[in-house]
Structure 1
């Protein structure tokens, strides 16, 4: 199958449309976030060309917003790199989860998955495909969600870059950006661990606000990671797996196999000696 035919097949796949629809609900928030980021990049002193390059190549809104203030005050390069790396550490976790779905794809396509991956895409994808194994409809779904998210970000962001000098600060776009980020954040909070990590990060960021060079961001990230790891350790200790002794010739029923896969049950099979 030619590349054009493959692309056409993906675009017409029902899962592509499903991914598009699932991401449409968050497009307004993503667009507002992108618009604010575009304006902020130029207002902070970046040239239009550099801002466009950053938007199209970096394509990481939270990292961009985190490092732009550091760049504007002339922070050391290592602080800028460390901040961006810490903010984007979550994508290492995302990538480890994507492996179960996309490890069979060629390197070029896996790199594309890495570029187009995003927080909201990850949440929507995992809700639709929680099993962690490849399926034919996953790539079209990801493409539909990723294309929607990319356009929802890039079009407003580029508009903000090009129109930054005509947008007055009195419009309060900074507050609009905060609201957009808050909406995206709330869509990512789905269990007790994420709520706790968010609360710890917020508290740490406020407590360390007086630190220079926006280092309170790094403090908040470190505190959130520590809280998340602590929660996982507590949950593992609290939910110890059940050991089940099985006869040598027995077969686990399907519902028990699900518990084994989840790690809730550890089967021990009796050995039969001649």
Structure 2
């Protein structure tokens, strides 16, 4: 089965519709974030064509937003790559968990899945399939969620790119983007350890704000990862609580 026939077969499965339906409630925040990111890319000095390429190829909003100030300030390439790498480190954890479900698939399928993988799809998927074992309905469910998520991101982002020069800065879209990010972040704070880790990251980002080239973002990520690992070792969540929040 080729890639296009594989993708075309997914919407026929009932789980595809369920995956899309369960993502529907959070698409408004994703769309607002995508619109803000599209406007920000052009306002940061990227050409329309380069911004479109970045939106379609770098399907990771947080790393895009983290990279834009560095691009605008002429930061060295290694800083840009290091920042994007650190911001996206969470996908290593997501992928390790998804491997329990999709590890048996051919490599080309896994590579295709990896491009569309996103934070909130990960959360919805684990709620739907808490048992880490493969099942036939998992792929259609995954594709239903990511199809809606991808469209909810890309369409507003492309609109923001094309209309960026006509959007006044007085509209305060940057603040709307912050609100969207806060909403998305809040949905991922599911237990004590994640709340403490988020607080540590926030404090570290503020404490290191004076660092050049937005390196406070890298410091915050490092502090959050260290705090998360320490909490998992010293204060693991009770097993019953983990099952409830999964």
For Structure 1 versus Structure 2, the TM-score category normalised by the shorter chain is over 0.9
Q: Distance in 2 between matches of 1:210 and 1:2?
A: 51
Counterpart mapping for 1:172-191 below 5 A: 172-191=172-191
Residue of structure 1 equivalent to 2:81: 81
1:235 is displaced (CA, Å) by 3.1
Q: Distance in 2 between matches of 1:90 and 1:160?
A: 27
1:5 is displaced (CA, Å) by 6.3
Q: 1:163 to 1:132 in 2, by over 3 A?
A: same
Residue of structure 2 equivalent to 1:266: none
Q: 1:170 to 1:107 in 2, by over 3 A?
A: same
Residue of structure 1 equivalent to 2:25: 25
Q: Deviations over 1:154-178 (max 9, x none)?
A: 0000000000000000000000000
Q: Distance in 2 between matches of 1:132 and 1:75?
A: 42
1:222 is displaced (CA, Å) by 0.6
Residue of structure 2 equivalent to 1:122: 122
Q: 1:121 to 1:3 in 2, by over 3 A?
A: closer
Q: Distance in 1 between matches of 2:2 and 2:69?
A: 46
Q: Deviations over 1:30-62 (max 9, x none)?
A: 000000000000000000010000000011100
Residue of structure 2 equivalent to 1:201: 201
Task: Using CA pairs under 8 Å that are at least 6 residues apart, name the structure with larger relative contact order, 1 or 2.
Answer: 2
Q: Does 1:60 align with 2:60?
A: yes
Q: Distance in 2 between matches of 1:130 and 1:215?
A: 37
Residue of structure 1 equivalent to 2:215: 215
1:11 is displaced (CA, Å) by 0.6
1:104 is displaced (CA, Å) by 1.1
- Any gaps of 5 or more consecutive residues in structure 2? none
Q: 1:169 to 1:131 in 2, by over 3 A?
A: same
Q: Does 1:46 align with 2:50?
A: no
Q: Which is higher, the Rg of structure 1 or of structure 2?
A: 1
Q: Distance in 2 between matches of 1:214 and 1:27?
A: 29
Q: Distance in 2 between matches of 1:8 and 1:108?
A: 16
Q: Secondary structure at the match of 2:53?
A: helix
Q: 1:206 to 1:106 in 2, by over 3 A?
A: same
1:9 is displaced (CA, Å) by 4.0
Q: Distance in 1 between matches of 2:184 and 2:53?
A: 24
Q: Does 1:166 align with 2:147?
A: no
Q: Distance in 2 between matches of 1:6 and 1:120?
A: 23
Q: TM-score, normalised by structure 2?
A: 0.94
The two structures, once aligned, show a CA RMSD in angstroms of 1.9
Which segment is superposed worse, 151-160 or 13-22?
13-22
Q: Distance in 1 between matches of 2:8 and 2:193?
A: 41
Q: TM-score, normalised by structure 1?
A: 0.84
